Amino acid sequence: MTKVAIVGLGWSGFSPEVVDMSFREMMFKAAQRAYEDAGGLDPRRDVDAFISCQEDFWEGISIADEFAPDPIGGAMKSVYTVAGDSLQCVGQAYAMIKSGLFDVVVVESHGKPSDMLTLHDVMSMALDPISLRPLGLANIHALAALEARAYMAKYGVGPQHLAEVVEKAHRAGLRNPRASYAGRLNAGDYELSPVVVDPLREADIAKFVDAAVVVVLASEAAARDLSDTPVWVEGVGWRTETSTLELHDWAFPLHARMAAEDAYRQAKIADPAKEVGFAEVDNRYSFKELQHIEALGLAPRGSAAEMLLEEPSTQAAACPSTSAAARWPRGSPSKSTASPD
Amino acid sequence: MTKPVNPRGTPIKEAEAVGIEFPVVGKARYNYTTGEALGVFLAGLKQGRILGTVCKRCGRVFVPPRMYCSYCFRPVDGWVEARDEGVVVTAVASYIEATRARAEKARVVGVIKLEVPGYKFDDHFFPGIMHYICVDDEAVKSMGIFGMRVRARWRPVEQRVGSITDIECFEPAGP
């Protein structure tokens, strides 16, 4: 079975509001960069299939997959859409190439949340329409806050830990030219940040950015043709928990733990805390960074917070480096997790 | 009863065609970014001009415009102005409003293949516009509308806002 590599990456946007380009123009720009990065690849000739990660409600367009092919060179070619995060598309592209039927697969994802006038209402559409939506939650972040509370209560995590995550991420973002919300914050600044839904303050919640990301994946033979520096993908995993929120584990992201185990198994990693040299974790909420470090097995359950305080610059000895720039100062483009960092 | 009795629909002849009022704009509301291509296009409509972009490699003209050629995967080479007239490629007559009420007068909607001086297009790919056509539904029933030359009926300048509706409809342009 062939190995799979990332051979090109391109991006566009990563600012709070991209006013001068439509999402289609952002996709085109990101695709141009990715194809140049992949050795000047011609998408009309060299790409076997395209996958776009997007969701109709975020687009404000139903059957939005119809809009996917044109800006990325996929007109009249094999294109399909995954309603999910871009990392899911990377996983799908990986599987397609592993199957031996495809040599080069392009993954596109974008988010233009600045186009949404009623962001809260749109996000609320993700709730179960019968059991949850009628509650009319005043703030969609309440769901994350419930998880935060459960996690913090169970593992003795306090606001000082969240403040440290926030401070570290903002500081790290200063080294990232795409981090719109980077800055120097201290604990005092954190406490001045208004509470959105206790325990989450505004500073705990990633702000949105408009962005598009295109990733080119290739089989081993194609990768060696296209790139001198392919990034080999050794393992991929994704899991989805139950859609019934009441039935899921509020205190610990089991889905992330199981997905990580899938990827580690493929990559033959037995002890991630020792073998993983660098991890970038999703921290769209501050406490999620701590949870995900633990879910990835980079720190024992419930210990990431204390490790962070002991060794804030590198997170912890057992977890050498995480979240260098992270989602949070860069902002969250809603569907484009695949990072250009 | 919370589901429609017949989810496959009811033949028009049998329908009581009761109008139902519903909000056109729901809770999910958006402020779409036009971007460069459609921004220039809408500004052109306000001036009474139909603008498109051209890819000189393949000769395609895009109306509505885009800043890239989908077929050559490259930036387009610039702007061209289409004439505000062309021929009807396809059209239908609609007898029911969006609110499900029976329309007092049938509305005809169609696709118009536009002309751009200096360019020739086949029937597969052409600069086009979908719009209302101000003709009687008999023109659709008789199929006489196909291939009919039509011309944009513009709203008065002071009523134009930079929208596709700055064109009221397309009307027969004569032979």
Tell me how far apart the alpha carbons of residues A142 and A191 are, in angstroms, rounded to a whole number: 19
B151 pLDDT exceeds 80? yes
pTM: 0.89
A26 SS3 class: helix
- Residues A198-255: pLDDT tens digits? 999 999 999 999 999 999 999 999 999 999 999 999 999 999 998 888 899 999 999 9
CB pairs under 8 A between A and B: 73
Q: Please give the tally of structural domains in chain A.
A: 1
**Residue A123 maps to a domain:** no
Instruction: Look at A22 and B32 and tell me if their CB atoms are within 8 Å.
Output: yes
Contact A199, A162 (CB under 8 A): yes
**Residue A200 maps to a domain:** no
Q: Report the pLDDT value the prediction gives residue B27, as an integer from 0 to 100.
A: 82
Contacts of B37 in chain A (CB under 8 A): 22, 24-25
Contacts of B66 in chain A (CB under 8 A): 24, 70-71
Tell me how far apart the alpha carbons of residues B164 and B151 are, in angstroms, rounded to a whole number: 15
How many Cβ atoms are within 10 Å of B165's Cβ, its own excluded? 14
Question: What are the residue ranges spanned by the domains of chain B?
Answer: 33-172
- Residues A146-156: pLDDT tens digits? 999 999 999 99
Tell me how far apart the alpha carbons of residues A4 and A231 are, in angstroms, rounded to a whole number: 8
Domain residues for the domain of A54 are 4-117+208-233
Determine contact: A13 vs chain B, CB below 8 A. Answer: no
Q: Which residue has the tokens 């007559």?
A: B93
Question: CA of A121 to nearest chain B CA: how many angstroms apart?
Answer: 6
**Which positions ≥6 away from A187 have C-beta within 8 Å?**
A160, A163, A167
Q: Report the pLDDT value the prediction gives residue A163, as an integer from 0 to 100.
A: 95
| CATH code, A76 | 3.40.47.10
Contacts of A60 in chain B (CB under 8 A): 28, 30, 32
Contact A182, A200 (CB under 8 A): no
Q: Report the pLDDT value the prediction gives residue A317, as an integer from 0 to 100.
A: 34
A18 SS3 class: coil
Instruction: Look at A19 and B33 and tell me if their CB atoms are within 8 Å.
Output: yes
Which has the minimum average pLDDT: A5-14, B22-31, B139-148? B22-31
* Regions of chain A where pLDDT drops below 70: 311-341
**Residue A103 maps to a domain:** yes
Contacts of A22 in chain B (CB under 8 A): 32-38
Instruction: Look at A22 and B34 and tell me if their CB atoms are within 8 Å.
Output: yes
Q: Which residue has the tokens 């705990």?
A: A204
Q: Which residue has the tokens 């509308």?
A: B145
Q: Report the pLDDT value the prediction gives residue A324, as an integer from 0 to 100.
A: 34
Instruction: Look at B33 and A23 and tell me if their CB atoms are within 8 Å.
Output: yes
Beta strands in chain A (DSSP E): 4-15, 49-53, 79-82, 104-111, 195-197, 200-201, 210-219, 231-233
**Residue A16 maps to a domain:** yes
Q: Report the pLDDT value the prediction gives residue B1, as an integer from 0 to 100.
A: 46
**Residue A278 maps to a domain:** no
Angle at A139 between CA A124 and CA A153, to 5 degrees: 110
Instruction: Look at A116 and B31 and tell me if their CB atoms are within 8 Å.
Output: yes
**Residue A329 maps to a domain:** no
**Residue A294 maps to a domain:** no
Tell me how far apart the alpha carbons of residues A163 and A69 are, in angstroms, rounded to a whole number: 42
Nearest to B134 by CA among B156, B99, B167, B164: B167
Nearest by CB to residue A22, choosing from B28, B33, B73, is B33
Q: Report the pLDDT value the prediction gives residue A296, as an integer from 0 to 100.
A: 96
- Residues B32-64: pLDDT tens digits? 999 999 999 999 999 999 999 999 999 999 999
**Residue A101 maps to a domain:** yes
Q: Report the pLDDT value the prediction gives residue B28, as an integer from 0 to 100.
A: 87
Determine contact: A118 vs chain B, CB below 8 A. Answer: yes
Tell me how far apart the alpha carbons of residues A68 and A46 are, in angstroms, rounded to a whole number: 18
Share of residues in chain B with pLDDT > 90 (%): 75
ipTM computed for the complex: 0.85
Instruction: Look at A60 and B30 and tell me if their CB atoms are within 8 Å.
Output: yes
Instruction: Look at B28 and A122 and tell me if their CB atoms are within 8 Å.
Output: yes
